[in-house]
């Protein structure tokens, strides 16, 4: 067998191996694509389920606030925690309004903003603290 024949056999074997590898890669990529589709569908359904849980929880909270349910149950403890959280959020929003009320149209916007921050840091006693017992 000549060197040329051996080279031709090696190239032929290489072609066959590349065809096999190409087929396996194609098959694996199809499988990965199927798995990705399933995982995406699963994530969408889980998000949908969590949104439904959230909606039920919010509706339940609003119903019990309207009815004035004050039973001592684990649920009523969660309702109190939600009330405290809402109160803290509102207090923090009130505090951040000081920063957002400064007009962006002002020629001295950035200087004014920095002055506001400095003023805030100097007056840290203005921070609103809410005692959990006051919300009960």
pLDDT digits (tens, 9 = 90+) for 64-113: 888 876 667 778 788 888 888 888 888 888 777 666 555 444 545 555 55
CB 87 within 8 A of CB 130: yes
Q: What is the pLDDT of residue 60?
A: 87
- Judged against a pLDDT cut of 80, whether residue 56 lies above it is answered with yes
Beta strand spans in the chain (E): none
CA dist list (Å): 58 to 13, 102, 114: 67, 34, 39
The C-alpha atoms of residue 98 and residue 69 are separated, in whole angstroms, by 36
Domain coordinates in residue numbering, the chain: 1-69, 89-136
Q: What is the pLDDT of residue 105?
A: 46
The C-alpha atoms of residue 64 and residue 77 are separated, in whole angstroms, by 12
pLDDT digits (tens, 9 = 90+) for 4-55: 788 888 888 899 999 999 999 998 898 899 889 999 999 999 999 999 999 9
């Amino acid at each position: 067998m000549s060197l040329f024949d051996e080279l031709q056999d090696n190239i032929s074997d290489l072609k066959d191996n590349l065809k096999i590898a190409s087929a396996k890669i194609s098959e694996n990529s199809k499988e990965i694509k199927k798995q990705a589709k399933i995982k995406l569908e699963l994530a969408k359904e889980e998000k949908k389920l969590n949104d439904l849980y959230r909606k039920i929880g919010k509706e339940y909270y609003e119903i019990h606030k309207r009815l004035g349910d004050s039973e001592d149950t684990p649920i009523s403890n969660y309702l109190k925690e939600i009330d405290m959280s809402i109160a803290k959020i509102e207090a923090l929003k009130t505090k951040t309004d000081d920063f957002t009320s400064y007009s962006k149209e002002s020629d001295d916007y950035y200087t004014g903003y920095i002055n506001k921050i400095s003023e805030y840091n100097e007056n840290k006693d203005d921070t609103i603290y809410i005692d959990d017992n006051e919300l009960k």
